[in-house]
Chains A and B, each alone.
Chain A
């Protein structure tokens, strides 16, 4: 296992006081970035890039990746405490994290999230350590049909996952697709659904929808219900944290499954956001406590967090090994690499092993530091939560409004976010599930592009999706997952709205 000795060398490179200080700084900065919806990981990375020109490449990339972890963890924090996903990949964490926090178990929710996230990231880094060259080869086999296969699989796992009316799920998901379609069509260059309205040419950003649906929508709901935020009853109790950490291994099945999903979605172009959704959906279907998801179920937090972070780690691998950035953050990092005179690609592993393995070693360390730091900031959030909602509510509103503006510096986006807020309020009250909407927005465009590119190269024939074993397997799995709920719904007679206990458990607050 030559890789292992290289990793040890990497640790030697990474474990200097200087580097550890950089990791701490990076994580703290990342936390700020992650917590505020107005700032995303790409903002933070772009900010730090000029600073890094004076540093050596190893320190620089350590700083950037530490910031990346900090942002991921910070995003989960606000998802759980305020139902505002600071990062797109933490949307799925709101589904069970926020309900659990509202029941007064915020510390438990946070610890579950960070524990499973840390574990997921570790698995991702392990995959990178052990499988880097194999993964690089594998990623090269992905063309348009395979891309579509990945997205199709992600969607198929989510259909039929929500309780309640399948028609509402359909409407919600289709609306998500429709919103994703607005803007310029990448294949033909035509504008779609813009009605010659300039503001829509850039499309509707997923971030705007998320800030509106989840942030503002939830604020409206909370206002209406007149809830006082239960928040954290006791001070940050170390015992609670330790007890929760001991609780995590109980969910090992979910953890393993989610980590695998995350690795898969990280290496393939699925991405951390899709990974978290898919993992949540499959967790709901296959876990024994699946029907309680959405009400503050521990596995509902563990599943998306593990997947999200393992995908986040694995997504860096195509960037390093192939020069294919899987996300905006990875793209900026890649830019940084090139400025420092390093070109990502298979040669990087052979010409600069100290850099690559130093980076990978720092990912282990960075995760550990991030988990510790983030748990340390929990008391600060607990303090904030104790303020009355009439104070916290407007502050969160301001944060959301700023967040909506900074996406593209358009005032129109803020109005859109308000609109989404109203939609979120009405939809949640009427039990229209929001998760399919969000998933459709995230993946819809990419899935359609992949489909049409595949069609272009096959001359309009659908057989390209079954042309090789990789794609055929994904398509077959997807079709199977699609049919599963239909079969069981027809079996239960619940296809047309006859309620059974699973549906009734979801009536209170559906996802």
Chain B
């Protein structure tokens, strides 16, 4: 499943144009005229949004005009996409778990998963690494610098806030 460079270029430019449109819309909520106190809050964001749309449109035109020269170029092929996704999805899971159970537990589970399945450690080694990671971070952030990290219901149950 290959994604060609041209299609990705156009898709990205469309996405940035959409962002530009959202910015323009948001700006119009704040007022976009120029009074005698100077510009209203939405003035600059509106034109920024317009410039984004302009730049995106120009990129699309440029891509279409030059499509012959980049015809065969792939943006990402199936194999690499799979590698990236297999790396990215666990991170998403890590963040989701952390939002619910706190960063330390999230960290522990993620490290264990990464070491056991991605790095190929054996289970005891993976568990040990996870424990070390959590311990080191706990000491640095909680004890040394007193920067509290997100903790979920599990740790709070044990009285660690």
Contacts and interface: CB of A to CB of B under 8 A. Distances in A.
Contact of B62 (A394, A401, A426, A497): A497
Contacts of A393: 87, 114
Nearest to B148: A409
Contacts of A219: 87
Contacts, number: 177
Chain A interface SS verdict (over half): helix
B80 A224 contact: yes
A171 B23 contact: no
A170 interface: yes
Contact of B38 (A44, A181, A460): A460
B120 interface: yes
B94 to A, nearest CB: 7
Contact of B137 (A193, A398, A427): A398
A187 B40 CA distance: 10
A171 B95 contact: no
A452 interface: yes
A220 B87 contact: yes
A140 interface: no
Interface in B78-137: 80-81, 83-84, 87-88, 91-92, 94-95, 98-99, 103, 107, 110-111, 114-115, 118-120, 133, 137
A394 B109 CA distance: 12
Given A193-B26, A398-B133, A459-B36, A390 B149 contact: no
Nearest to A394: B114
Contacts of A429: 8, 75-76
Interface in A406-432: 406, 409, 411, 414-415, 418, 422, 425-427, 429-430, 432
Contact of A401 (B27, B34, B87, B98): B98
Interface stretch (A35-43, A230-238, A480-488): A35-43
A174 B59 CA distance: 14
A167 B55 contact: yes
Nearest to A400: B91
Interface residues on A, range: 35 or more
B157 interface: no
Nearest to B91: A397
Contact of A223 (B27, B83, B99): B83
B44 interface: yes
A36 B144 CA distance: 13
Contacts of A43: 145, 147
Interface string A384-406: 00001011011101100110011
Interface in A173-192: 174-175, 177-178, 181, 185, 187-188, 190, 192
A382 interface: no
Nearest to A47: B145
16 contacts: A43-B145, A43-B147, A171-B52, A177-B48, A181-B23, A187-B41, A192-B27, A223-B83, A226-B83, A391-B119, A393-B114, A395-B133, A405-B103, A427-B12, A456-B38, A460-B36
Interface of B: 5, 8-9, 12-13, 16, 19-20, 23, 26-27, 30, 34-42, 44-45, 48-49, 51-52, 54-56, 58-59, 62, 65-66, 75-76, 80-81, 83-84, 87-88, 91-92, 94-95, 98-99, 103, 107, 110-111, 114-115, 118-120, 133, 137, 140-141, 145-150
Q: Give me the 4 closest cross-chain CB pairs, A-B, nearest first.
A: A455-B38, A394-B114, A171-B55, A390-B119
